[in-house]
Structure 1
Amino acid sequence: MNQTANLNRTIVDMLYEEAMLLADEARDTFRDAAQERRRTGTPLHEDEDLERIALSCEALRTTTRMMHALSWLLNQRAHFCGELTEFQLRRHGRLPRHQPDSDPAQLALLPAHLRDVVERTRRFHARIARLDQAWRDHFAMHPAAIQRLRERVGLAMAG
């Protein structure tokens, strides 16, 4: 039962495809929202300046988040193609850790479909961050943590 998982080329390629589609969708969605706002001149909120700032900030955060994920995936792909050694990948292929959270007040100024894109890119980046951490830990299983979780579940079910 002491098996370990690992990344493989198929997983990375599938994630890369998903990332490209999501990045394209995010770019198009933010671009279309900005163009629509300019075309109609109709603000979504009473304070047009706050709306414009929110749109710009969230577009930048979303783009940055996806570019970091894509960069990590491209480094993994380069490793699988033999262009990077594992040492190089571990040293230089790190996913940047801190991603600033969106300001809830700014998010509230955006339409629901934009907030949805922001949330999906945030979740995708979190998946990549978990994979990066697991890869750096050599996909080591932590039986003690799993056992503690089982014990908590058992106590909750018994009570």
Structure 2
Amino acid sequence: MSPTPDIDYKAVRRGIEAEVKKQKNFAKIIFLVVNVIMFIAFSVIAWSMAGSAGINPGMASNMPGVQSGDPIASALIMLNMGWFAGLIFQGLMLFFDTKIGERQIRERATGKIMNQALLDAGLADESEPEKAKRAMRLTDDGELEEVEGEDELILAQKRVRGKS
């Protein structure tokens, strides 16, 4: 007899594929939103620096060919930093499309869907295992002593039930 007779494995497989697709799409949307926010933030910073020409000359870079206080160069550097960060996020998205990234997503989805299928089939043990209770027995001189060992524990339980 199979231990899991009520699980529809085709439905589980479809559920796993749907979960993998959902997680990948969610990650792509998050990275796109972060990329857009970073682009807007760096653009605002760069254009505000370009608009305040000469107010804060210490903001300019010490790169060769860039004169101190040049707001256009500072703005371009900030834009390049923002775009570089965006490229990093896009590189992370490429990682999710590799076999390693997809395998990690698929393992999480498989665990989630299989647990749900087991719960739906009523095969999952939702309760925690019962903790072994201490068994005590009364010695010949009237003292309580702890029962050690499995055989003595079974005998003590039988005595308590009156089956000795």
TM-score, with length taken from structure 2:
0.37
TM-score, with length taken from structure 1:
0.38
Q: Is the radius of gyration larger for structure 1 or structure 2?
A: 2
Structure with the larger helix share: 1
Instruction: Give the number of the structure with larger relative contact order, counting CA–CA contacts within 8 Å between residues 6 or more apart.
Output: 1
